[in-house]
Amino acid sequence: MRKKIVAGNWKMNLSREEALLLISGITSRIESKEKQVIFAPPFLYLYKIAKMCSNFNRIKVAAQNCSKEKEGAFTGEVSAKMIDSCNADYIIIGHSERREYFNESNMDLKEKVDRALENKLDVIFCCGESLNQRKNEVHFSWIRKQLSDSLFHLNAIDFSNIVIAYEPIWAIGTGVTASTNQAQEMHAFIRSCITEKHDTEVAEKTSILYGGSCNPSNSNELFAQEDIDGGLIGGASLNANDFLAIINSF
C-alpha cells in the first residue's frame, strides 16, 4: 500500500517562537496513526524541530531545498549532508518557486536529487505547469519532461525514495485549486509515466501528493481520488487547526 502523506511547506514564514508554538500545537493534537505527517520548516529551525518530532513515529521533517554541490566555497548554500546531520528525513526539490525565482533547471534538480539520495534523504519532487501551458495543452508533455530530466536516471531502488508532488503553478497560493478531475487526471498520467519508465509495481508504490491551495474544505474530495495520496500544503500549513483538519480529511 502507498504511503498517505500530508506535508506542510512553511516557505519563508514564521519566527522561531511562532514555529515552535505551531509545532507543539499540532503534535499535541495529532491522532492519526496511519498517515505520515511532514513538516518543512526553514533551515534554521530544522534541527530543533527534528528533535521535537523525534518521539513521533509518523512525523517526519523536510528541508525546503538543498545545494546541488556537495561542499566547499559556496557562501550561503546548505548541503544535503548538513541537512542529514540535522536529522531531517526529506528534502523538497524542484518547488516552482525555486524553479521560477532562482532559475533552477531540470538539470540542476537532477543533481540535487542525487545529493539527497547520496545522503540517505528521501525526496519530495515537485512538478507542475503554468496556466499558459495548460491553455496551450502542453501540460502533459511538460510534466513528463520534468520527471524524465530530473528523476528517470534513477533505478527502481533509488526511485523508491521519491515522493512526487504535483503542484500546478496557477493553483499555488492563488486560492484557485485544480478541480478533482484535473488533479486526478494528472496524477494518473504521472503514475503512467512511472509505469513506462519502470513497471506497475514501482508506480503503484509511489506516493503522489497534490499541492496548490489545498485547504480543509477541498482536501477531503481531492484525497478521495484514486491516485492522490495526500497533499503538499503551503498557506494552510501555517495554521494548526487547518493543518490538523487536512490531516484528518482522508
Please confirm, yes or no, whether 167 is among the known catalytic residues: yes
Q: Using the minimum distance from each CB to ligand PGA, give the nearer residue, 52 or 236.
A: 236
Answer whether 169's CB lies under 8 Å from 129's CB.
Answer: yes
How many residues are present in the chain? 250
Out of 62, 211, 228, 230, the only residue in the binding site for ligand PGA (CB under 6 A) is 211
In the bound state with ligand PGA, the residue whose beta carbon lies nearer, of 13 and 87, is 13
Nearer to ligand PGA, 211 or 230 (CB): 211
Q: Which of residues 96-155 bind ligand PGA (CB under 6 A)?
A: none
Question: Does residue 214 bind ligand PGA (CB under 6 A)?
Answer: yes
Find the binding residues for ligand PGA in span 7-66 (CB under 6 A).
9
Distance from C-alpha of 122 to C-alpha of 178, rounded to nearest angstrom: 26
- Which of 212, 242, 243, 244 forms a contact with ligand PGA (CB under 6 A)? 212
Q: Answer whether 166's CB lies under 8 Å from 231's CB.
A: no
The catalytic position among 97, 104, 129, 167 is 167
In sequence order, which residues have a C-beta less than 8 Å from that of residue 123 and are 6 or more positions away? 90, 91, 92, 93, 113, 116, 117, 161, 162, 163
In the three-class reduction of DSSP (H, G, I as helix; E, B as strand; rest coil), residue 204 is classed as helix
Among 65, 234, 243, 247, which residue sits at the site for ligand PGA (rule: CB under 6 A)? 234
Query: Residue count at the site for ligand PGA (CB under 6 A)?
Result: 13
CA dist 229 and 233 (Å) reads: 13
Instruction: Measure Cα distances from 203 to 93, 188, 217, 229, 244 in Å.
Output: 20, 10, 29, 12, 28
Site membership for ligand PGA, residue 233 (CB under 6 A): yes
Nearest to 90 by CA among 164, 149, 147: 164
Closest listed residue to residue 177, CA positions, set 211, 143, 154: 211
- Nearer Cβ to ligand PGA, position 56 or 173? 173
Is position 226 annotated as part of the catalytic site? no
- The distance of closest approach from Cβ of residue 95 to ligand PGA in the complex, given in angstroms and rounded to an integer, is 6
Instruction: For ligand PGA, give the closer residue by CB, 116 or 202.
Output: 116
Q: Please list every residue from 56 through 95 that binds ligand PGA, using CB under 6 A.
A: none
Among positions 111, 167, 229, 242, the unique one binding ligand PGA when judged by CB under 6 A = 167
Question: Quick check: 145 and 157 in contact, CB under 8 A?
Answer: no
Residue among 95, 139, 187, 198 flagged as catalytic: 95
What separation in angstroms does the CA of 192 have from each of 133, 142, 229?
Answer: 20, 15, 15
Q: Which residues bind ligand PGA (CB under 6 A)?
A: 9, 167, 172-173, 211-214, 232-236
Annotated active-site positions, please?
Answer: 95, 167
